[in-house]
Chains A and B, each alone.
Chain A
Amino acid sequence: MTKVILPELGEGIEKATVSYWYFQQGEKVNEKDDLVEITTDKATFNLPSPAAGTLIQIILSEGDTVHPGEVLGIIE
């Protein structure tokens, strides 16, 4: 099981918004596929999948606020 965790995005960036999941829950993903897009004020940030497997759970959905270090979803 691999947790999809939002990394630190930069100094002073304490939160961002989940703007787009490229995959739905239950879909298979490859390592490094674009998995989820996060948006801060003037930047979008694409988080690649940390592992190959199935996206078994989306914990934070589109529109949710996310903080660095938080788990966005789980791949198994």
Chain B
Amino acid sequence: MSFEVFDLGLIDYQKALVFQQEVFKAVESGLPQFALILCSHYPVITCGRQANKKNILVPAEELVNRGISVFETSRGGDVTYHGPGQLIIYPVVNLAHFKKDIHWFLRLLEEVVIDLLSDFGVEGRRIEGKTGVWVGEAKICSVGIAIRGWISFHGLSINVKAADLDNFNLIRACGMDVNLTSLETILGRNIEISDISKMGSELFISKIEPGSILAGGRVL
């Protein structure tokens, strides 16, 4: 199984989307069979296909003043916020090589995050009937994917830095009245995005294709 991992660091949402589309074309053409794009975004609010604009709680000019842009995207889900304090993972995976099952893939993404949290001694959990990962009653990870021709794009975001949580007050995240938390908030210490991005990609690869780390893909 061939795969590639791209770590884009802090990058504009739209630039990352263009990059994702390029990677999608590569996966569509057969090589690699899957890819992971790791990054963080400058502050942005994105609206999924089920988005209700009423879930953006402040006027457009307030967002402009705060330097936050708004994008409509083709992923599933409602409104969410992304900022520099989150690790974003976009898995571009041809599910035809694994399992043509959206439910399986969403649960696999959650499992990666639950295992990642567990490495920090934090117990993450799912809530039946919802997609994402919670710690206690607070949400730490949001998931929203799109699939075209059984190839996935978009993905998940994990709240890492405590400082970034305030901007979630600008929206009703995922259309729910939900408390958000971050890894730093829970641990009470400083965590860098780079501390967890490699862990996240290795966990994903080991789960989707046991043995594939040993088989060797390219980590760029």
| Interfacial residues, chain A to chain B (CB-CB below 8 A) | 7-13, 19-20, 32, 34, 37, 39-46, 48
Least CB distance, A61 to chain B, in whole angstroms: 16
CB–CB B74/A44 < 8 A: yes
CB–CB B101/A42 < 8 A: no
Task: Kindly list chain B residues whose C-beta atoms are within 8 Å of the C-beta of A46.
Answer: 146-149
Task: Kindly list chain A residues whose C-beta atoms are within 8 Å of the C-beta of B77.
Answer: 41-42
Given A41-B76, A44-B75, the answer on whether A10 and B147 have CB atoms closer than 8 Å is no
- Most chain-B Cβ atoms within 10 A of its Cβ — which of A7, A12, A42, A45? A42
CB–CB B76/A42 < 8 A: yes
CB–CB B106/A42 < 8 A: yes
Task: Kindly list chain A residues whose C-beta atoms are within 8 Å of the C-beta of B50.
Answer: 39
Given A7-B100, A19-B49, the answer on whether A43 and B106 have CB atoms closer than 8 Å is yes
CB–CB A40/B102 < 8 A: yes
- Most chain-A Cβ atoms within 10 A of its Cβ — which of B76, B131, B145? B76
A-contacting residues, B50-83, CB 8 Å: 50, 74-77
B120 lies within 8 A of chain A by Cβ:
no
Q: Which 10 A-B pairs have the closest CB atoms?
A: A10-B103, A10-B101, A42-B131, A46-B148, A10-B102, A43-B76, A44-B146, A42-B76, A44-B76, A45-B147
In the bound complex, CA of A12 to CA of B131 (Å): 14
CB–CB B148/A9 < 8 A: no
- Most chain-B Cβ atoms within 10 A of its Cβ — which of A7, A10, A43, A45? A43
In the bound complex, CA of A32 to CA of B100 (Å): 17
In the bound complex, CA of A19 to CA of B81 (Å): 23
**Nearest-neighbor residue (CB-CB) of B151 within chain A:** A46
Task: Kindly list chain A residues whose C-beta atoms are within 8 Å of the C-beta of B144.
Answer: 42-43
B77-118 CB mask vs A (1 if < 8 Å, else 0) is 100000000000000000000001111111000000000000
B143 lies within 8 A of chain A by Cβ:
yes
Report 25 cross-chain contacts, Cβ distance below 8 Å, ordered by A residue.
A7-B100, A9-B102, A10-B100, A10-B102, A10-B103, A10-B104, A11-B103, A11-B104, A12-B103, A13-B102, A13-B103, A19-B49, A34-B148, A42-B75, A42-B76, A42-B106, A42-B131, A43-B75, A43-B145, A44-B48, A44-B74, A44-B75, A44-B146, A45-B102, A46-B148
**Nearest-neighbor residue (CB-CB) of A43 within chain B:** B76
In the bound complex, CA of A28 to CA of B101 (Å): 30
Given A39-B49, A39-B76, the answer on whether A44 and B147 have CB atoms closer than 8 Å is yes
Task: Kindly list chain A residues whose C-beta atoms are within 8 Å of the C-beta of B132.
Answer: 42
